[in-house]
Amino acid sequence: MTGTMSAMVLSAPHARLVLQERSAPSPGAGELRLKVEACGVCRTDLHVVDGELTQLKLSIIPGHEIVGRVDAIGAGVTGVLLGQRVGVPWLGHTCGHCPYCMSARENLCDDPLFTGYTRDGGYATHAVADASYCFPLPESGDPAKLAPLLCAGLIGWRTLKMAGPAETIGIYGFGAAAHIIAQVAIARGRRVHAFVRPGDRAAADFALSLGAASAQDSDARAPEPLDAALIFAPVGALVPRALAATKKGGAVVCGGIHMSDIPSFPYALLWEERRLLSVANLTREDAREFLALAPTLPLKMHVTRYPLAQANEALADLREGRLQGVAVLIP
């Protein structure tokens, strides 16, 4: 279990990631070591790098959409084979005994670890992960197209579930999560309206190409009343806009981990039993559900590949809105 690895490391908020050579870690009890095949670049990584999430461990290896092959197995781990392909998501460990863990709400655990934030992640050639939070993935297929399922897909899935039985759905912010969950919703017979950054015609055309019924600027009026709105853009001003577009009894679900302040709005926008909800992390049950569902759907995964050493460029392209779909690092 010895050897070296390459990793892109964040030494301080707002700093550029630096490529380092390190000793490859050995898995502890209950852990697996993976040889990373691909790691998605998520907007949450931007929040980590840009200092908007403040509990990070330094120096940290970011990245939490990890696809890899098991190359070392820690003590006590059963049911996993060397060489097996698995995926690692954002929620990387929970305590198992707090009130939330004991009531099937482990996504709200009081003492969690998060991949690429409070434990090292996948912007590297190797990564160690809690075996209980590694999920089997198809042995064949492009790992770059599997990586986005581990966060963009999972968070999108939980967000869609929290919206309830909505038939007409507005999606605000058409990035990685939106481009996956829009396809899931459409495949299940829902009608999707996309709301994009004002003036971003490329994003609007992208949404239409994936089957959206309409695509318009996020400050435009919805083409019809919505049963639910899913907000993936980290823009608090979208909350009252989405509430105004949502029918009585509908839900507005905020799918991001970070958002700018929500401006004040009249109570009338919330009245009539509209619900305003947030999504926090995921549960292993979410992962099992979605990773079983995804292969049965005609999902088109739009990825842009970057070498590991170009992680800073991938983050910059995401930050500046130059991507359609998902950026993925290939070690």
- The answer as to whether 294 is a domain residue is no
Residues 16 and 101 in one domain: yes
Rounded to an integer, the average pLDDT of 22-31 is: 95
| Domain annotation covers residue 296 | no
Q: Is 161 a domain residue? A: yes
Q: What is the per-residue pLDDT across 187-242, written as a single tens digit (0 to 9) for each?
A: 999 999 999 999 999 999 999 999 999 999 999 999 999 999 999 999 999 999 99
User: Does 172 fall in a domain?
Assistant: yes
Q: Does residue 285 fall inside a structural domain? A: no
Model pLDDT, residue 323: 87
Q: Can you give the pLDDT at residue 56?
A: 80
Compute the average pLDDT of residues 261-281: 97
* 13 and 89 co-located in one domain: yes
Strands (E), the chain: 4-9, 18-23, 31-41, 65-73, 85-88, 91-93, 113-114, 126-130, 135-136, 168-172, 191-196, 214-217, 226-231, 246-254, 275-278, 303-307, 326-330
Q: Are residue 145 and residue 168 in the same domain, yes or no?
A: no
How much is the pLDDT for 55? 85
Question: pLDDT at position 54, please?
Answer: 86
Share of the chain above pLDDT 70, in %: 99
What's the pLDDT at 324? 87
Q: Are residues 86 and 191 in the same domain?
A: no
Same domain, 63 and 171: no
Interatomic CA distance for residues 326 and 179, integer angstroms: 9
Question: Both 55 and 136 in a single domain?
Answer: yes
For 50, the domain range is 4-150+301-330
CATH number at residue 66: 3.90.180.10
Res 120 pLDDT > 70: yes
Are residues 65 and 47 part of one domain?
yes
Looking at the structure, do residues 186 and 126 belong to the same domain, yes or no?
Answer: no
Indicate whether 1 pLDDT > 60.
no
Is the same domain home to 138 and 22? yes
| Cβ-Cβ contacts under 8 Å for 17 (sequence gap 6 or more) | 8, 9, 10, 49, 62, 123, 311, 312, 315
Packing angle, helices 284-293 and 152-162, rounded to 10: 100
**Using one digit for the tens of pLDDT, what is the confidence trace for 136-195?**
999 998 999 999 999 999 999 999 999 999 999 999 999 999 999 999 999 999 999 999
Structurally, the chain folds into a number of domains equal to: 2
The answer as to whether 70 is a domain residue is yes
Q: Has residue 274 got a pLDDT over 90?
A: yes
Name the strand (E) or helix (H) holding 162: helix 152-162
What is the CATH classification number for the domain harbouring 270? 3.40.50.720
Same domain assignment for residues 130 and 257: no
**pLDDT of the residue at 78:** 95
Tell me, yes or no, whether 241 lies in a domain: yes
Looking at the structure, do residues 171 and 273 belong to the same domain, yes or no? yes
- Condensed to tens digits (0 to 9), the pLDDT of residues 51-75 reads 999 888 889 999 999 999 999 999 9
Q: What's the confidence (pLDDT) of residue 321?
A: 87
Confidence (pTM) = 0.93
Decide if pLDDT at 113 tops 60: yes
Q: Report whether pLDDT(44) > 70.
A: yes
pLDDT at 10: 97
Alpha carbon distance 4, 10 (integer Å): 18
Q: Is the pLDDT of residue 11 over 80?
A: yes
* Residue 286 maps to a domain: no
Average pLDDT of the segment spanning 2-24 = 94
The SS3 call for residue 277 is: strand
| pLDDT, position 28 | 97
Give the mean pLDDT of the chain. 96
Domain shared by 191 and 83, yes or no: no
